[in-house]
Chains A and B, each alone.
Chain A
């Protein structure tokens, strides 16, 4: 089967249920583990990317999440778990990205490659979402000394107030 050009790649995404939502950007939704995820496809100049935001916003150091991500990123050939840019000072989104370099504008990507990228992204999501969520829910780790001092100070104040009431 011949390679698709970039426009044909977009048409293929539309045929399988993606909706165009910006220049070279496509989106669909998928339910995994009873949750709805946005599956985004980007047909960029040099790269085709399938990206799934894990709907988990990290606001602090989460060492166990970094360890898990690095472990999986070392193990898997295609695909990576990553932490995105800050969203309105609210935190950073954890996401999964499966990428492949593109060819030329006219021989941009094979249909099989698009199917492979989407299928792989969904498989990785199914396999890893629950362990990632579990680690994420453990909360923050590795608080700095300053943060620890603040917490201790608040505890002392709370202790004194508690004592006053007693």
Chain B
């Protein structure tokens, strides 16, 4: 990583302001909660943004999607396939079986543009909304065909397939 200057918490908040976003303070300094509208599910989501708390080189934006209470192998397969379908967003299941959508943005000033934050928040919410029905297939149906669930999801959203 370069040895440049890192964005401070105040500068990150200024970016939120310039992007016209509202935010709530997070559990500790360097964390924020951003209410974002999810048009597909017609509800608000709370995206957690951190300034170098997960990795000092990056600003992270993440959204918890669901807790995988069963059929974890199916969930992992669903995440691998969806990660291969969607741009930019990364989907993963942590040790507590919580499934997240996550994007990171460089924190170094010379590598940063506030538009990156806008893209990051957009894909975190869109990625979470996209994968949710596929995950629900795993959680509700022991014999869920993940590939079929992904295909039907892609068929419902033109342009969702990753460029090859």
Contacts and interface: CB of A to CB of B under 8 A. Distances in A.
A32 interface: no
Contacts of A110: 106, 110-111
A3 B91 CA distance: 29
Contacts of B123: 46-47, 101
A104 B104 CA distance: 17
A146 B110 CA distance: 57
Given A63-B73, A104-B115, A112-B111, A83 B81 contact: yes
A95 interface: yes
A47 B76 contact: no
Interface of A: 1, 3, 42, 44, 46-47, 49, 61, 63, 65-67, 69-70, 73-74, 77-78, 80-85, 92, 95, 97, 99-104, 107, 109-110, 112-113, 116, 142, 144
Interface of B: 1-2, 4, 54-55, 57-58, 60, 73, 76-77, 79-81, 83-85, 87-88, 90-95, 103-106, 108, 110-111, 113, 115-117, 119-120, 122-123, 143, 161-164
B55 A74 contact: no
Given A69-B76, A83-B80, A112-B111, 7 more contacts: A3-B113, A83-B81, A92-B84, A101-B88, A101-B105, A101-B123, A142-B73
Given A44-B163, A112-B2, A102 B116 contact: yes
A69 B80 contact: yes
Q: Which 6 A-B pairs have the closest CB atoms?
A: A103-B113, A82-B84, A82-B83, A101-B119, A66-B76, A77-B55
Contacts of A73: 79, 83, 90-92
A44 B123 CA distance: 14
